[in-house]
Amino acid sequence: MNNFEIKKPFGPSVVKVTLNDDIITSMNDYVELIIKDENKSKTLDHGHKLAGNVNQEFLLEDKFMIKIKWPELLASVVQKWVQSQTGKQLKQFTVIKSWIVRQFKNEYNPIHYHSGDISGVGYLKVPSDMGKTSQRDKINENGNLVLIHGSKQFLSNSILKIEPKVGDFYFFPNYLMHTVYPFSETNEERRSVSFNAILDKDTTLII
């Protein structure tokens, strides 16, 4: 992962990194295999336990995550995040689960939060065109992720709008409310990977 950047638009900070091309390729190849395997698609299906009203959501298998060193990659970013903000070393990082979200036109993810201590989302596929707004003078936020914290205050934003781009990966505290807007006018897939993880208690008090 490259281009480490900490964003702090409100109380809790948010980290943005760039996924390496080999990770994106490995993830997409894996997803395509699962899609073609009806039995695995059913076994790994996790949509009934997630908030999204989307086409398909399924868990990443442990053996696949180990193969591409996914937990280590995630932990390295969180360690850098913690150290840069506090000067402390991360003592524990355990992935609870990581999953794929396949979203198509008119689907959406309602406002929700995650379990664990730290969550994140990265983009593996993004439609070339997510459709137009109903009113021409409005900002087009189709397919965007929105992180929400508290209410608007003086010189302090309460939301962070994120336009998905392939390779971008965002880390944020699990309690941040967030939503994904629907998009239209395309048959292309908006594909993302997410995770929830647990940190040691000393760290969770300061993130």
CATH topology of domain 2-196: Jelly Rolls (2.60.120)
pLDDT at 207: 62
Q: In this model, does residue 202 exceed pLDDT 90?
A: no
Q: In this model, does residue 194 exceed pLDDT 80?
A: yes
The stretch 119-133 carries a mean pLDDT of 95
The Cβ-side half-sphere exposure at 31, using a 13 Å CA radius, reads: 22
Percentage of the residues of the chain whose pLDDT score is greater than 90: 76
Structural domain spans, the chain:
2-196
| pTM summary value | 0.91
The stretch 76-95 carries a mean pLDDT of 92
The stretch 86-94 carries a mean pLDDT of 91
98: CB partners within 8 A, 6+ apart: 59, 60, 65, 70, 193, 194, 195, 196
Q: How far apart are the first and last CA of the chain?
A: 21
The stretch 122-130 carries a mean pLDDT of 96
Q: In this model, does residue 51 exceed pLDDT 80?
A: yes
pLDDT at 103: 97
Q: In this model, does residue 153 exceed pLDDT 80?
A: no
Q: In this model, does residue 9 exceed pLDDT 70?
A: no
pLDDT at 104: 97
pLDDT tens, residue by residue, 20-46: 999 999 999 999 999 999 999 999 999
